[in-house]
A and B are shown apart, each in its own frame.
Chain A
Amino acid sequence: MDIFLQQIINGLVLGSIYALIALGYTMVYGVLGIINFAHGEVLMIGAMVSLSLLRLILGFTSDLPGWLTLLIVLPITMAVCAGLSYWIERIAYRPLRNAPRLAPLISAIGMSILLQTIAMMIWSRNPMTYPQLLPSIPIDVWGSGATITGKEIVIIVVALAVMCGLLFLVEKTKLGRAMRATAENTQIAALMGVNPNRVISITFMLGGALAALAGIMIASNYGNVHFYMGFIPGLKAFTAAVLGGIGNLKGAMLGGLLLGLIESLGAGYIGDLTGGVFGSNYQDIFAFLVLILVLVIRPTGLLGERVSDRA
């Protein structure tokens, strides 16, 4: 039983990170109707920038408590990534808004490679260890043998808090209304006095900030960073967004959490289920299977209402 509980905990941690990234995909898809291929790279740059900042601070003093150091690093990193995301949109997407569908996809891929290469040049080709600032001593959960660390609790709580904040922003504020209007119909939103370019830029920046947060979480969770680290989480978060219904914020959150759970339960039990033929090194396959299944059975996702095949 403790294995089950343990996998649930791991799944929640993974899932809340996926949800944060998925929100970025889904928001951009909502307003522009495109998949932001460079989103995973924003996450990676976030992790890298935060690593440099942490090294800088730890170089001056190591007396600060871990949470305070992170609290200083977090807003700076999020601002950097919001800026990066803004420029990605300005360079790779905006000039191509009326081009054939293929064009923004290809330019985004180019952007993604460019960012990876730049990260490789500035930081390193090799994985670097990420300082552990939050308590990682396992705490026993209800005496069941399953454990959770302080770090993991922080990840889940922060992710949930940020998601609630975002929901509030989109559902209750003026800016959120403008975003929803742009997502509904850009032209008519413009006629109603919304500046679509501004809304799109803000959407990208929000997505970038969330990706930065997710990047820091992934880096602290695994304890290392790598120029390639954005690719797989990006792919999975996209799956999460599709699972929940792309374009739908609550869907992205639900999809992220579900995918995290599916993945960790799958990885935990695949060895037993297949008699040891497949091990947990096949963990990455679950997300893909989920993606294919969703696309076959219910392409609009769990909470999506919009038809996804408009041309």
Chain B
Amino acid sequence: MLRETLFNRLPRSAYLWIGIIALILMPWVVGASGGNYWVRVLDFALLYIVLALGLNVVVGFAGLLDLGYIAFYALGAYSFALLASPHLPQQFETIAAAFPEGMHFSPWIVAVFSIILAALFGIILGFPTLQLRGDYLAIVTLGFGEIIRIFMNNLDRPFNLTNGPKGITAIDPIQLFGISFAKPLDLGFIQIPGLYLVFYLFLLLAISVAIVCLHLQDSRIGRAWIAIREDEIAAKAMGINTRNMKLLAFAIGASFAGVAGVLFSAFQGFVSPESFTLWESIVVLAMVVLGGIGHIPGVILGAVLLAIFPEVLRGIAQPLQQALFGHVIIDVEVIRQLIYGLALILIMLYRPGGIWQKGGNNS
């Protein structure tokens, strides 16, 4: 009773403010109770939200299955790694001569660059396949993800571009208006640790991407996508240029991943092909599917759940097995894969809308 009256009395804006304050306090609360490790987990969860929202544009809105999504993430990450680390000047004398103070491109410039790059690659990949059935796109993107990984792994010879499986290190940290996100920010009365700053930055990014997605969904474009997803022939008959619309969805999804990749490599300070395997694409897909295909709040929920889940699993499954059997029988990583695989099948069979599906008469 009390709850009901309290909830009724509060205006809508109050919820908004409570939400904002909770999000601002979140890293402090988590940091105080769980330490920096968990703040890092939160930071990555936010990046995953951006990735999942991007994939949702492709899979959820336009109904196209993209299995190489992580390749676009890799494009962004490697773009920044190459343009803001000592790697290229060390390898090529001409570059060293052109940048006597080392290569330190701003992440923001590289972000714009990788939006264009990722979108371009999306269009190149999508062009031959999008006129055909969706299944072809799935396979082509699967292959593309694998190709990008082969290039990352092998382009250390004959000239060392990607440094092979060892990856690229010493990447510049994120900087914004002269503030470095690698060290604490001193505001006089309070010191904000770098990890917390990253949290706020990623939060802003995730919120902006979510807003962009919401607007896209309700726009002419979003309605066209949904029409294509539901019935392509009918959509075509209604005068929608299905090929261009699908290309657009593909390019927009790719560009979100590109931006996320830039921030990932700046945050991590290190990239290697290991971070961009097919498994990562599957994880992002699982986030979208689990949360609710095509439903933005659901996708966000899915991303948060699956980003935190392995950490929780690590905290529970390992000690539990130790206590029960005296040693670890099944590796946590294996349990995780098992659960993801099962979840993808079970959700498709029993709850195709995901755990937080759209209300109303939406199919």
Contact = CB atoms under 8 A, between A and B. Distances in A.
A117 B338 contact: yes
Interface string A5-45: 00000000000000000000000000000110100000000
Nearest to A96: B348
Q: Among A96, A277, A295, which residue has the most Cβ atoms of chain B within 10 A?
A: A295
Question: Which of B146, B330, B348: most chain A Cβ within 10 A?
Answer: B348
Contact of A100 (B63, B67, B338): B63
B131 interface: yes
Interface string B330-354: 1000100110111111101100100
Interface stretch (B137-145, B195-203, B319-327): B137-145
A291 B158 contact: no
Given A35-B138, A295-B132, A107 B344 contact: yes
Given A113-B337, A114-B345, A121-B334, A276 B158 contact: yes
Interface in B44-96: 59, 63, 65, 67
- 9 smallest A-B Cβ distances: which pairs? A110-B344, A114-B341, A113-B341, A110-B345, A107-B348, A117-B337, A296-B128, A288-B143, A295-B128
The SS class assigned to the B binding surface is helix
A281 interface: yes
Nearest to B232: A311
A280 B59 CA distance: 35
A103 interface: yes
Nearest to A99: B352
Contacts of B229: 100
A309 B246 CA distance: 15
A91 B345 CA distance: 9
Nearest to A276: B158
B142 A235 contact: yes
B363 interface: yes
B131 A103 contact: no
Contact of B150 (A96, A238, A282): A282
Given A105-B138, A113-B340, A121-B334, A295 B63 contact: no
A279 interface: yes
Interface in A232-290: 232, 235, 238-239, 242, 276-277, 279, 281-282, 284-285, 287-288
A47 B220 CA distance: 51
Interface string A86-104: 0000011001100111111
Interface residues of B, number: 49
A26 B131 CA distance: 20
Interface of A: 34-35, 37, 91-92, 95-96, 99-107, 109-118, 120-121, 231-232, 235, 238-239, 242, 276-277, 279, 281-282, 284-285, 287-288, 291-292, 295-296, 299, 308-311
Given A113-B341, A121-B330, A296-B128, A288 B232 contact: no
Interface in B126-162: 127-129, 131-136, 138-140, 142-144, 146-147, 150, 154, 157-158
Nearest to A288: B143
Interface of B: 59, 63, 65, 67, 127-129, 131-136, 138-140, 142-144, 146-147, 150, 154, 157-158, 229, 231-233, 278, 282, 285, 289, 293, 330, 334, 337-338, 340-346, 348-349, 352, 363
Contact of A235 (B63, B131, B139, B341): B139
16 contacts: A92-B348, A102-B65, A105-B138, A107-B344, A109-B67, A109-B282, A113-B344, A116-B337, A120-B337, A121-B338, A279-B157, A282-B150, A288-B143, A288-B147, A291-B139, A309-B133
A299 B132 CA distance: 8
Q: Which of B143, B343, B346, B349 has the most CB of A within 10 A?
A: B143
B293 A102 contact: yes
A120 B334 contact: yes
Contacts of B348: 92, 96, 99, 103-104, 106-107, 110
B135 A105 contact: yes
Given A105-B65, A121-B338, A295-B140, 8 more contacts: A95-B349, A96-B348, A113-B344, A117-B337, A242-B139, A288-B146, A299-B132, A299-B136
